[in-house]
A and B are shown apart, each in its own frame.
Chain A
Amino acid sequence: MTCAAFLDRLYDDDARAAERGRGTIPADMVRHMLDCEACRTAFDIASADELLLNRTLLDSPPQVWRAEVRRQIARSSRVAWTQRIATMNEVVTWGILAMAASNVLIGESSTAGDVAAFLTGGAAALLHPSLGQQWMALLSRPFRWV
């Protein structure tokens, strides 16, 4: 291994873990370090940089900021729930309207007919373009009622 290759190697994941004290120095690097003082120093400096820069560059945001972000995220969640409920409302409403329409058109009521009409109305609501996105959200997220 050349010194240039060693300096490149400093940024690889396994070498970085060793610099942070989370693993052993890779064998190929150890072999080179035994013969090269400059690269031993380079490794020590890289280790020091890892520890110093990670700690120094990370700020702790003010509590007020954290609280505001939590509040906005919670509010954003509630909006999503409102949308889900609105979608369910529309499905039920369309189902009932379809049921009523079938009774008026056919002139007689049967349980099977009512169920079929309700399902057709609900399905129509889901297929309505404006509801498509909300329906995808419903499908892609697990239901939690509490």
Chain B
Amino acid sequence: MAQKSDLLHLHTGCHEDDLELARRCESGDADAQRAFVDRIGPLVYSVCARSGIVGSDREDVAQQVMLDAFRALPRYRGTSRLSTWVYSLALRRVADYFRSPQRRDVPSGGPGDDTFPPSPSTPGVPAPDEQAVRREEDDRVRQAVACVAEPERRVILAYYLGEMSVTEISRTLGIPEGTVKTRLHRGRQALRKELGTL
């Protein structure tokens, strides 16, 4: 299915599946709206969490991004993946949040802090002890990512979390593709260094 969609995209330059979902959402289709929340929600929620928004602010900002994205769906033309399109919107809202004087600053700490929520269990994940090991590993990686300095962290998040291509990141952040690659390289090196010290 993914391959078929990719071929279609190569042929038409349009993400038909995403466009169809967007149009169905707009027309009030409850199933499509549910699919929209299930597919895009984790991404938006994670962008807010990984960007350092903590406490109830994280849920509020993520919720607002989802509503803004839904209301902006008529402007979605399918020229990029829906997730990429929403990711760009989320980045702007997160930047707005950090500029806002009303934000409630809560100092972020280490693993176990609210900044690093454990991933909820999902069906198909095996034994609880294995889950605990994986959770611990996830916490280490998240802490390491949080320690990577800007602007490298933003590019790392867009590339790995937003699953954006170098070209898409370049367009979204307004920086040359070469700079994106350099920041990715530096960011990954910093990440490895952090993981080595944790």
A-side residues, CB < 8 A to B, are 7-8, 11-13, 16, 45-46, 49-50, 52-62, 65-66, 68-70, 72-74, 76-77, 80-81, 137, 140-142, 144
Least Cβ distance of A120 to chain B in Å?
30
Stretch at the interface among B11-19, B33-41, B90-98, B103-111: B33-41
A60 touches B122 (CB 8 A): yes
**Given A12-B166, A52-B141, A57-B50, A77 contacting B161 (CB threshold 8 A):** no
Least Cβ distance of A20 to chain B in Å?
10
Residues of B within 8 A of A (CB-CB), count: 52
Least Cβ distance of A141 to chain B in Å?
6
Q: Closest residue to A58 on the B side, CB-wise? A: B46
Least Cβ distance of A22 to chain B in Å?
8
**Given A7-B185, A50-B160, A70 contacting B33 (CB threshold 8 A):** yes
> B45 within 8 Å of A by Cβ?
yes
B41 touches A54 (CB 8 A): no
Q: Which of B1-59 contact A (CB under 8 A)?
A: 23, 25-30, 33-34, 36-38, 41-43, 45-46, 49-50, 59
Least Cβ distance of B186 to chain A in Å?
12
